Structure 1
Amino acid sequence: MAANWMRRSLMVAACASAALLAACGSSTTESAISPQRMIAFGDGMSDVGQKGTRYTVNDGSVNNWTLQVASGYGKTLSASSAGGKSYAAGNARIVAKPDAAGSNTTLTVKEQIDSFLASNTFTGDDLVMINGGISDVIANMAAVNAGTMTTEQMITASRQAGTDFAAQIRRLVNAGAKYVVVAGTYDLSKTPWATDIGRTTALNSASSAFNEGLLVGIVDLGANVLYVELASYVNRYTDSPSAYGFENATKAVCTSVDATDGIGIGAGKVNSALCTTSTLLASANQDKYAFADSVYLTPSAQRQFGTYAYDRLRSRW
C-alpha cells in the first residue's frame, strides 16, 4: 500500500512540477525581475522572528532561506510583528487550528494572507515567498499518536492540507501577485524526530501526500508560480551530507530543551527557537550539522536552500 502510494505521489509530483516548469522561460538581462518588496508567509521554516527568534540556531546571521533570497536581491525582510512583511509564524498550519503546538493564537497561513490583504495590495515588483505543510504533518502525526486519527486518515488529512495550501497560493495570484515562490514540506521521515518516534514510513507518506495535493492544485499557475523543491533538497542533505558540507544529518546540534510542547513533537524536546550559539552540543561546529532541532534546519542548511531558490528565481524570471 505504502509503495503504491509513493509511486503515485512521485508520478503526480513529477508531472505537476514538469507542467509548472513548462511555463518557464529563460531569464534575460532585460526581463529579469528586480523586486522592490519582499513578502513572506508560512510556518517555522520561513519565520524570521515573529516572536523574536527563529527556528534555527539564533546566531545573528542570515539564517533563514527567505532572508537569503532577499539578500540576493539586496533587500531585507523582517517579521510583521516588527512592522515588516514576513507574516510566517512558527507552528502555523494552512487553515486548521490549533497550531502544531496546540495554540489557537498563531495565525494560519490563510489568516496571514488575510492580514496582508486587509491593508496591502500587490504591485508588479513584489516577490512573494511562501511555504507550508510542516506544521500540518506534525499536528496530524500527533493526532495519530493520541489515537484520534489513523495513519490512513493522517495521510488523507495531509493531502487535504496540501490542497488547501494550493488554494491559498491561487488566492495570492488572483489578488495580483505576479511572482510567487512556493515550497512545500520536506520529507519529515528524514528528520531526527521521525527516527526517534519510529514513524518514518507514516511521515514519508504524509509528507508526500501534502506535496501531491499542493502540486496538483497549482499545476496551471506556472506563469506566476515557481515551485522550489525543498523536499528534494533536504533529501540531498540527508542522503549525501558531505556534498553540502555536513558531517551529521541525523542529530540535532542544539541542546535548548523546551519544557512545553514548543514545536509540536512533545514537551521536554529541543526547540531551536530557543537555541543560540551558547546552547549547542559540546565542541560542535553548527555548520557541520543539517538539523538544529529534531525538525528544523541549521543556518547553513537554510542558506544553501535559499541560494538554490534564488538561483531558480534568476533562471525563471
Structure 2
Amino acid sequence: MAANWMRRTFVAAACASAALLTACGSSSVDSAISPDRFVVFGDGLADQGQLGTSFTVNDGSVNNWTSQLAARYDVKLTPASKGGWNYAYGNARISQSPDAAGNASTPTVVKQIDTFLAANKFADNDMVVISAGVSDVIANTMAFINGTITQDQLMANATQAGADLAAQVTRVINAGAKHVVVTGTFDLGRTPWAKQIDKEQLLTQVMLALNNRLKIDINPLGGKQVLYIDAAYQVNLFQGNPGAYGFQNSDTAICTSVDAGAGIGTGNNRVNSALCTPNTLLPNADPIRYVFSDNVYLTPEANRRLGEYARDIIVLQW
C-alpha cells in the first residue's frame, strides 16, 4: 500500500513539475537517452501530413506535437508517405475499420504497425510513439448519437479500444522496441465539439473508459520501456487555464475551413482543420492564442506545447 502511495506521489510530482516547465517554456535538462530515430503510429493527433496536410492550421511551422518532440532531440520526422517514419494517419482507429469518417482504406494503428514490421525492425536507439484514441472516441460517440449503438455499447467499445491500444504497445515491445511513448486520447469533453453537441460529460466518460483501460493494461510492462504521456491532463490545463499557457481562447475553433464531406468524423459540413491554412481563419484571429484549430484538433501552438510536455516527462523518466 505504501509503495502504491509513493508511486502515485511520484507520478503526480512529475506531472506537476512538467506542467510548470511547459508553462514557462520548456525544460533545459538533457535527456539521458538520445534517439537516432522516431517511429510513430497513430491517428490525426499524430499525423504530420500523410495526405499532404495535418489536422491543425497548416502554416508551414512545426505544427504537430510529434514533430516538436522529435525536433527537441534533433531528429527530423516526416510522414511515411514521404519516405519517413511517421505512419500516423488522420481519422485512423486503433483496430477497427472504417475510420472515423467512414473511409475503409485508412490504415488502422494495427495495420500501420503491420506495414512497418513487414519491411523493418526496431533498433535499440529508436523512440517509438503510439498516439491514438481520438478517432475511436469520435466514431463510437457518433454511432451512439445516430442511434446505432447504446450508451452501454459505447462505453464497452471505448474500453475495448483502450485494451486494443495496450495490445499494440505490448506488440512493439515484443518486436524489439526499447523505448515506447504512448498516449491515449485527450478529453474530447473539453472541446468545442462537446459543447456544440451538448455531450461534455459523456465524452469525458468515454475518454476515461479508453485511457483507464490502456493504463491498466500497460502497467505490468513497467516504466523501463513504456512511458504514458497524459495528453488529457495537459490539454485540460490549456483549456481550463489558457492564460497560464499564453492562450486567450480555449472554447472556439479558429479555422473556418468547412468540409462538405465527413471531414474529421463529426458530421458533414463541419470545420476540418486538414483543410485549414492561414487564409481560412477567423477574422483578425491569432492562432498562437487559440487552443483548438477545428472543433476537436489542436492548433500548432497547442501541439508544440504538448510536444514540450511530452519531452519533459521523458526527461523525468528516462
Deviations 1:186-236 (A, max 9, x none): 111000001001111211110100001100110012220110110000110
Partner of 1:309: 310
Measure, in 1, the Cα distance between the counterparts of 2:59 and 2:30.
38
Partner of 1:116: 116
Partner of 2:229: 228
Displacement of 1:18:
4.2
Structure 1 residues 106 and 19: alpha-carbon distance in aligned structure 2, compared to 1, 3 A threshold: farther
Q: Conserved in 2, the CA contact under 8 Å of 1:151 and 1:202?
A: no
- 1:287 and 2:292 matched: no
Measure, in 1, the Cα distance between the counterparts of 2:245 and 2:11.
25
Q: Which amino acid aligns with 1:32?
A: A
TM-score, normalization by structure 2: 0.90
Q: Which moved more, 1:271-280 or 1:214-223?
A: 214-223
Q: Conserved in 2, the CA contact under 8 Å of 1:246 and 1:290?
A: yes
Alignment of 1:119-134 (within 5 A): 119-134=119-134
Measure, in 2, the Cα distance between the counterparts of 1:171 and 1:87.
16
Q: Conserved in 2, the CA contact under 8 Å of 1:20 and 1:220?
A: no
SS at match of 1:127: strand
Measure, in 1, the Cα distance between the counterparts of 2:10 and 2:213.
14
Partner of 1:166: 166
Q: Which amino acid aligns with 2:246?
A: G
Alignment of 1:240-259 (within 5 A): 240-259=241-260
Measure, in 1, the Cα distance between the counterparts of 2:148 and 2:207.
19
Structure 2: 5+ residue stretches without partners? 15-28
Displacement of 1:111:
0.5
Q: Conserved in 2, the CA contact under 8 Å of 1:41 and 1:129?
A: yes
Displacement of 1:125:
0.4
Partner of 1:266: 267
**Count, aligned residues:** 298
Measure, in 2, the Cα distance between the counterparts of 1:120 and 1:217.
26
Measure, in 2, the Cα distance between the counterparts of 1:31 and 1:293.
33
Structure 1: 5+ residue stretches without partners? 1-13
- 1:194 and 2:212 matched: no
Q: Conserved in 2, the CA contact under 8 Å of 1:20 and 1:226?
A: no
Structure 1 residues 162 and 30: alpha-carbon distance in aligned structure 2, compared to 1, 3 A threshold: closer
Alignment of 1:61-72 (within 5 A): 61-72=61-72
Q: Conserved in 2, the CA contact under 8 Å of 1:57 and 1:273?
A: yes
Deviations 1:92-151 (A, max 9, x none): 000000000000000000000000000011111000111111000100011111111111
Q: Conserved in 1, the CA contact under 8 Å of 2:189 and 2:203?
A: yes
Partner of 1:277: 278
SS at match of 1:220: helix
Displacement of 1:30:
10
TM-score, normalization by structure 1: 0.91
Q: Conserved in 1, the CA contact under 8 Å of 2:188 and 2:203?
A: yes
Deviation >6 Å, runs of 4+ = none
Q: Conserved in 1, the CA contact under 8 Å of 2:31 and 2:315?
A: no
Q: Conserved in 1, the CA contact under 8 Å of 2:254 and 2:287?
A: yes
Q: Which amino acid aligns with 1:311?
A: D
Displacement of 1:255:
0.4
Deviations 1:71-111 (A, max 9, x none): 00011111111111000000000000000000000000000
SS at match of 1:136: helix
SS at match of 2:220: coil
Q: Conserved in 2, the CA contact under 8 Å of 1:133 and 1:161?
A: yes
Measure, in 1, the Cα distance between the counterparts of 2:158 and 2:267.
20
Once superposed, what is the RMSD of the aligned Cα atoms? 1.9
Partner of 2:218: 218
Displacement of 1:315:
2.1
Structure 1 residues 143 and 314: alpha-carbon distance in aligned structure 2, compared to 1, 3 A threshold: same
Measure, in 2, the Cα distance between the counterparts of 1:241 and 1:19.
26
